Amino acid sequence: MGYRRFQDREGTTWEIRDLSDVAWEFEPVSHPGERTLRVPAPGHQKDPFDLSVEELQRLLDGVRGAAPPRSAPRKSPFGD
């Protein structure tokens, strides 16, 4: 069986293994010094191939404790 590969926003390539209905494993492929991460499986999907890159990044961010990058606040068109 092939596993899903995913490249995060930092450039690390991860191989995703669906261990069970409750846990997936993200194993770093391009940076062997990083540790393997176990993430809670999303309840709505059972197959890593069915998730978008953005959804996989959110799962990874949730385990790492990293907040997604924020854009600058929009300026009010009313001059407030």
Q: How confident is the model at residue 33 (pLDDT cuts 50, 70, 90)?
A: confident
Q: How far is residue 33 CA from its own chain's centroid? A: 18
Give the Cα separation of 74 and 24 in Å (integer).
Answer: 37
**pTM metric for this prediction:** 0.70
- HSE-CB at 22 with a 13 A cutoff on CA atoms is 0
SS3 58: helix
**What are 40-68's pLDDT values in tens digits?**
888 777 788 888 899 999 999 988 875 55
* Structural contact between residues 6 and 29, judged by C-beta atoms closer than 8 angstroms: no
